Chain A
């Protein structure tokens, strides 16, 4: 069976299962009412895209800095990186958002909830990025650094010409996967009233009492963003598959 046919078959089976469950629940659909709020959905979708893109860039930078801290020979710097990564990865994003917005941002006088949202999301995702980057650097054999030194490269040249080009290829699939998580995690920004996609669905639901009609488009919208990222991740994985 060709792969695309298998995919369609599985999707059809899952859809049929969900459809059957809905029929048994005797759910009364009211799409017309929700359709009137389509502008609110589109606006939320747009905000989610912009926030995700911003967090994607900032979290990559945060991840690079934290990975450098993790790899530092200086005990204090290494400890800073380690504590950051463990605390962030060990606590819920929900708590980080609430603390970040109502306590930290409030204390430093940062009022723009969109900026705070992007920062907290970036710090959250950056901790995962840091481990991905650190692992990528660690995966490069010692002899590569030896070879770079042996031909007389400076440490900076050795990173630029030898280590980083290889590390980037190693981490790209994992980074693309992390971006998928980041897009979905941005839904939690609704708890600090950032007017993004999930908050839009929550609002429409509370106006119309049409729960499924509000949340099914939400799921479809996230898939629209995450499926291309997953596809990109698999593509990169295939493209850079060369062994040493």
Chain B
């Protein structure tokens, strides 16, 4: 995918969260967004995922500009997948029913078709044994992996992952990061917002540092994390890296 974001502005009430944000990537499979909390990463991701409409500016993936009206945006959302920090799964449905719901009700598969579609991914990610459990019976890591799988089984053009490990303990974080690493190996395209710099370094083709509502730095992971000349970015990594 090739992403072009131009002059993006987003406001909530009187607070300006994105302040003329711009970002032009090369041809990438995995784009990772990092930066301080409240800097605008998640707001940017919600716009990229077609969940929110910016006040001004434009977003284009591979030359196709995202629409602004809800019906067209819904059609767009059906071609991509989004995973939030937590509470992705519908608690009244089992893990399996969570996976089947979009396939049947959004993508028009029959029940047997949908079941056939989810079998292989459930096995590959070792989640078959948990398929009939309700979300309340799953661990945090299992919930997030099922949520990623739900986004994946509809065969989206790309995934949007909004801090998928921020609500997890270290062990579960490792289990979800491992799955994200595997996605990369499988060739799935995704945009990931994360605070896990180790993961960012491993999977990112390009890394964008979002702060104060703008992209303050953008390049290869090593360029940004190890040798960035922008003071704001440098001080950020100096504080969080050992």
A interface residue numbers (CB < 8 A to B): 141, 143-144, 146-154, 157, 161-162, 165-166, 169, 242-244
Contacts and interface: CB of A to CB of B under 8 A. Distances in A.
A148 B75 CA distance: 13
Interface stretch (B11-19, B101-109, B213-221): B101-109
Contact of B106 (A151, A165, A169): A151
Interface residues of B, number: 26
Main secondary structure of the interface of A (DSSP, over half): helix
B90 A147 contact: yes
Nearest to A240: B92
B87 interface: yes
Top-5 shortest CB links A-B: A152-B78, A150-B82, A151-B102, A143-B87, A244-B91
A141 B101 contact: no
Interface string B52-96: 000000000000000000000011011001101011111110000
B90 A162 contact: yes
A153 B136 contact: no
A153 B82 CA distance: 13
29 contacts: A143-B84, A143-B86, A143-B87, A144-B87, A144-B90, A147-B84, A147-B88, A147-B89, A148-B90, A150-B77, A150-B82, A151-B77, A151-B78, A151-B101, A151-B106, A151-B150, A151-B151, A152-B77, A152-B106, A153-B105, A153-B106, A162-B90, A165-B92, A166-B91, A242-B91, A242-B134, A243-B136, A244-B91, A244-B135
A152 B102 contact: yes
A152 B106 CA distance: 6
Contact of A149 (B51, B75, B81, B105): B51
B122 interface: no
Given A151-B150, A244-B91, A161 B101 contact: yes
B203 interface: no
Looking at B51, B81, B88, B134, the one whose CB has the most chain A CB atoms below 10 A away is B88
